[in-house]
């Protein structure tokens, strides 16, 4: 049983002599007493028990229940939902309360326990007892305790609580007593306080159970609570997304219910997506990373002039490592097709960023071969001279050559295939996705600065002879280089006012680049550490199924056992 004394329940009793004042208030002539030892104030309509040191008691007046923290737009709604105390003579208010709100719950004649005549509502929350007057609770009839106090149906009352003890007339609730202490204080003061140590989600669930609205909290507490709630929701969302990246979400049951080759596709999926599920899967992951590195190196060396060889038939220069690059593309194609065949969800497979990178890495070669098939050296047929055909062919080849250059440029995206096996690259991509608003604002401010400072410098520099600032678009390059604090020096203002604008542009770039970099770095470090932890957990989970060290020791012992068995007959 929770014990409350007068000084703890009423802070103004800390001064000497105030206990006597309260005792005299409780024993005034206008205080009546019922059979259960409950004093009832005939003027205010609120009650209290004699043993104040035993249990918490609610002593309120109607003027002390106004909520000064509710927003202006919520006042009308509060008046409709919960009502206000009537204004008039105290005796009239007491008569209205007596006629509208019962002092004790009404009971139906359905064979239930005999009702109590007490005007105090006894409740037990999580093993701690509290006492509230029916009139104080009924001020908020939309709450759970308000419905319990104002209901005239006994079965409805019992449905609002978890248990009821008829001997002591006490209602039991299996809820968190720490949160209910705040609810109890809300009935006492009309203000709902929030503690920082409480979980926001658990606190909202408890408030929803008790039917108390968050609008009764002070504005300062509400702002802090909403910030913690939004921060918690964002962290939970980030954790779910990071965990989904670190672990394969496909369940084995999805493959077993497939129509065609479900178990085989499940094993193939583990081979391609779970490197630590088996030794073969680990070898496959290492081979994929090896071919990515080989293809990138071959792509770079093919641009070196010494690595070119001239074709004797056509006279065109061909890269020496072209066949190695083609072999890597064939491996990437096989890998992509195996992933496509084994996936249980084609829609999710198509929307994956890593799978899109794999497709972009292999498309340029096949598009190049397709375009070369349409531009073969065919002889002219029908009418038209050879000269006209050559002119037409040159124009057609020129357009195709531009397309081929773009296709070759797309080959650089092969390096992004390493993101499948690199935690840092995936954490960096995840950071950009989560901070797209900050990155977008940074790019917007950079664009505004480039346009503004280029226009300023052009205005003061375009009349100077031999100037490079011939137009605002020509000045964009100078502004971009200055804002990024690179400063190539190929373009620089010559007038004093132009140099002043250049100094302001550089200072603007320093301030602008310094603000979001720290935010991005902190989030990247946080996401990287969390993703690394989730991957380590998933890795330990997969390695629990396949113990590579134990398997290697077993293979070595088997080999040694076979060698010893073969050597025994020779010694015999």
Same CATH fold, 252-420 and 6-237?
A: no
The domain spans of the chain are 6-237, 252-420, 434-549
Instruction: Please check whether the domain covering 6-237 is classified as CATH 3.30.710.10.
Output: yes
pLDDT tens by residue, 506-528: 999 999 888 888 888 888 888 88
Whether the pLDDT of residue 427 is over 80: the answer is yes
Which pLDDT does position 252 carry in this prediction? 60
Cα–Cα–Cα angle for 36, 37, 42, nearest 5°?
105
Whether the pLDDT of residue 502 is over 70: the answer is yes
Number of H helices, E strands in the chain: 22, 9
Query: Model-level pTM?
Result: 0.55
pLDDT tens by residue, 101-147: 343 443 333 334 444 446 888 889 988 899 988 888 888 888 999 89
Q: What CATH architecture applies to the domain 434-549? A: Orthogonal Bundle (1.10)
Mean pLDDT, rounded, of the chain: 72
What are the contacts of 19-27 at 24+ separation with CB within 8 A?
22/52, 26/50
What percent of the chain clears pLDDT 90, i.e. is strictly above it?
12
Cβ neighbours for 411, distance < 8 A, ≥ 6 positions apart: 299, 361, 364, 365
Which pLDDT does position 36 carry in this prediction? 42
Which pLDDT does position 354 carry in this prediction? 83
Q: What φ, ψ does residue 269 adopt, rounded to 5°?
A: -65, -40
Mean pLDDT across 232-246: 79
Cβ neighbours for 383, distance < 8 A, ≥ 6 positions apart: none
CA end-to-end span of the chain:
87
From residue 288, how far is each of 211, 282, 284, 293, 340 by CA, in Å? 58, 10, 6, 9, 16
pLDDT tens by residue, 7-28: 333 333 333 333 333 333 333 3
Instruction: Please check whether the domain covering 252-420 is classified as CATH 3.10.310.70.
Output: no
CB neighbour burial string for 224-238, b if at least 16 within 10 angstroms, e if fewer: ebeebbeeeeeeeeb
């Amino acid at each position: 049983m929770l014990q409350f004394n007068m000084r703890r329940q009423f802070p103004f009793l800390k001064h000497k002599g105030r206990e006597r004042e309260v005792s005299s208030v409780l024993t005034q002539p206008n205080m009546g007493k019922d059979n259960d030892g409950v004093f009832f104030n005939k003027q205010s309509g609120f009650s209290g028990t004699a043993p104040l040191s035993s249990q918490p008691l609610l002593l309120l007046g109607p003027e002390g229940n106004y909520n000064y923290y509710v927003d202006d737009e919520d006042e009308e709604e509060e008046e409709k939902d919960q009502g206000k105390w009537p204004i008039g003579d105290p005796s009239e208010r007491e008569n209205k309360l007596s006629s509208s709100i019962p002092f004790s719950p009404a009971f139906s004649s359905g064979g239930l326990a005999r009702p109590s005549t007490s005007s105090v509502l006894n409740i037990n929350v999580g093993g701690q007892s509290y006492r509230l007057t029916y009139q104080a609770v009924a001020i908020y009839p939309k709450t759970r305790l308000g419905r319990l106090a104002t209901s005239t149906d006994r079965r409805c009352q019992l449905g609002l609580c978890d248990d009821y003890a008829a001997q002591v007339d006490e209602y039991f609730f299996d809820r968190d007593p720490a949160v209910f202490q705040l609810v109890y204080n809300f009935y006492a003061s009309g203000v709902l306080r929030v503690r920082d140590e409480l979980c926001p989600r658990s606190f909202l669930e408890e408030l929803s159970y008790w039917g108390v609205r968050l609008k009764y909290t002070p504005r300062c507490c509400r702002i802090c609570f909403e910030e913690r709630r939004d921060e918690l929701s964002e962290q939970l969302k980030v954790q779910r997304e990071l965990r989904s990246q670190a672990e394969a979400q496909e369940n084995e049951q999805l493959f077993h219910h497939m129509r065609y080759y479900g178990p085989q596709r499940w094993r193939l999926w583990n081979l391609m997506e779970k490197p630590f599920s088996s030794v073969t899967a680990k070898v496959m992951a290492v081979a994929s990373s090896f071919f990515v590195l080989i293809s990138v190196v071959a792509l770079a060396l093919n641009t070196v002039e010494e690595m070119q060889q001239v074709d004797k038939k056509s006279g065109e220069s061909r890269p020496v490592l072209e066949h190695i690059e083609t072999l890597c593309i064939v491996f990437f194609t096989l890998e992509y097709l195996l992933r496509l065949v084994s996936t249980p969800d084609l829609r999710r497979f198509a929307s994956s960023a890593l799978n899109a990178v794999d497709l972009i890495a292999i498309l340029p070669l096949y598009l190049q071969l397709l375009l070369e098939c349409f531009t073969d050296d065919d002889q002219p047929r029908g009418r038209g001279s050879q000269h006209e055909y050559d002119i037409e062919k040159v124009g057609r080849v020129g357009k195709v050559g531009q397309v081929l250059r773009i296709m070759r440029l797309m080959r650089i995206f092969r390096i992004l295939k390493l993101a499948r096996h690199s935690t840092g690259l995936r954490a960096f991509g995840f950071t950009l996705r989560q901070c797209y608003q900050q990155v977008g604002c940074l790019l917007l401010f950079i664009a505004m600065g480039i346009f503004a400072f280029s226009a300023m410098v052009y205005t003061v520099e375009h009349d100077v002879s031999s100037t490079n600032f011939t137009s605002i678009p020509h000045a964009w390059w100078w502004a971009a280089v200055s804002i990024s604090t690179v400063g190539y020096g190929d373009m620089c203002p010559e007038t004093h006012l132009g140099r002043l604008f250049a100094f302001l542009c550089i200072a603007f770039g320093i301030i602008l680049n310094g603000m979001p970099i720290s935010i991005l770095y902190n989030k990247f470090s946080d996401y990287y550490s969390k993703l690394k932890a989730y991957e380590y957990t998933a890795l330990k989970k997969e390695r629990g199924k396949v113990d590579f060290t134990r398997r290697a020791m077993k293979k070595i012992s088997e080999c040694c056992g076979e060698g010893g068995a073969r050597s025994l007959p020779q010694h015999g």
